[in-house]
Amino acid sequence: MSVFLQDLVMKRESKSYTDSVYAILTAANLFQGPKYLLSGLTGMAFKFSVHQQLLPMSVSAYGQWGNEHKPAIDNLGILTIFDAGRVRHHTFPYYQQEAVNAVKSSLDCGIGVVYWIPEFGVIHGYDDGDRVFYIQDGCSEESQIVLYDNFGLNFTTFWYYQVFGDKVDIARQDMILESLRLAILDWETPFRTLPNTDIASGKLAYVYLCQGLKQGSFNTHGAVYILDSYMTARTEIRDYLGDAQGIWTELDEAYQLYGLLAAMIPRMNDCIRAHRGERQVDLSRVDELIELLTQAELLEDQAISHFRHISARYPDLKRTTIPRWGSHTPR
């Protein structure tokens, strides 16, 4: 038995998770619209995390994935099931077997699967004869091949996959409201991967980014990757809020603020130059870049306070009702 989803094409433009989900959901007809809409509704565009040394892993280290991705997909009204863990756990071979079966059944239904390669990619086919999965990373047109036996094995020592199911319709306004609340939460939580405090999130991520650039001993590739991802996300937020115009006046004001922020992006981009075929932060323009980022932080802070005003007008059952198991997921 083999399945190969031809229509599923992943393209790296946004965060790898957003790109993966977008490719899967649009191919399965579970989502219609541009990528920035998905990025905004899931709250993924608002996720911003930076490691002290500006390591490239910052971009996907925006929290415990289960806790971040579940509310994101929930807000779209789509059923999602995921599993993840560490390969060193004794029971990993059994989880691996279960995961392989789950991925295959999802592909049998014609729906791709999010998989940690790393970074996130899409499983878009399998072949029982060769016992392999076909995986797209969004960068190369060629599929990567992973043996069933090697599912989940990678240099990061953790594994992750996520499958999707049916969909219910949620009112557009409710989805937007929830996405703003996700954005507020991300902005206000300084550390999302506690007990580690070397990766900051939201408002504090700006501080880490500026400090890292100022110190000078940062990871050159990581710095560019973080900035690129940051600039893409801000453009996405602006476009997303632009589409949501006319519901709340505060949201229109927030859109104006993100518009100003997005207008600064070309100047930020100018602070990155090509050096021996590789883009690097221009060290002679670091001060200028920090200045721009400081202004951007202020604009974003004001926009988030507008979000808070909108959020305060409606009851927030998700965050005010404490479930039986407390405020954490029962894992």
- Least spacing, CB of residue 147 vs another protein, in Å: 6
Q: Which H or E run includes 21?
A: helix 16-27
Residues within the interface to another protein (CB under 8 A): 53, 55-57, 87-88, 90, 92-93, 127, 129-130, 132, 134, 139, 142-143, 145, 147, 149-150, 153, 155-157, 219, 221-222
Comparing CB distances to another protein, the nearer of 223 and 292 is: 223
Q: State which residue, 144 or 269, has the beta carbon closest to another protein.
A: 144
Q: Is the dihedral of CA 268, 271, 274, 279 positive or negative?
A: negative
Minimum distance from residue 13 beta carbon to another protein (Å): 17
Q: Which residue stretches of 124-219 are H helix?
A: 172-188, 203-215
Smallest separation (angstroms) from another protein to the CB of 174: 40
According to DSSP H, which parts of 189-326 are helical? 203-215, 220-243, 249-263, 265-270, 286-312, 317-320
Q: Which helix (H) or strand (E) holds 104?
A: helix 92-108
Please say which residue, 109 or 147, places its beta carbon nearer to another protein. Answer: 147
Taking the complex as a whole, the smallest distance from the CB of residue 153 to another protein amounts, in Å, to 5
In sequence order, which residues have a C-beta less than 8 Å from that of residue 201 and are 6 or more positions away? 47, 48, 49, 62, 63, 186, 189, 190, 191, 192
Between 144 and 305, whose beta carbon lies closer to another protein?
Answer: 144
Closest to another protein by CB, 89 vs 318, is: 89
Ramachandran angles phi, psi of 324, nearest 5°:
-50, -35
Q: Would you say 91 or 320 has its CB closer to another protein?
A: 91
The secondary element (H helix, E strand) that includes residue 69 is helix 65-74
Minimal distance in Å, beta carbon 103 to another protein? 17
Of 272, 290, 288, which is closest to residue 280 (Cα–Cα)? 272
CB of 155 to another protein, least distance (A): 5
Quick count: other Cβ atoms within 10 Å of Cβ 236?
26
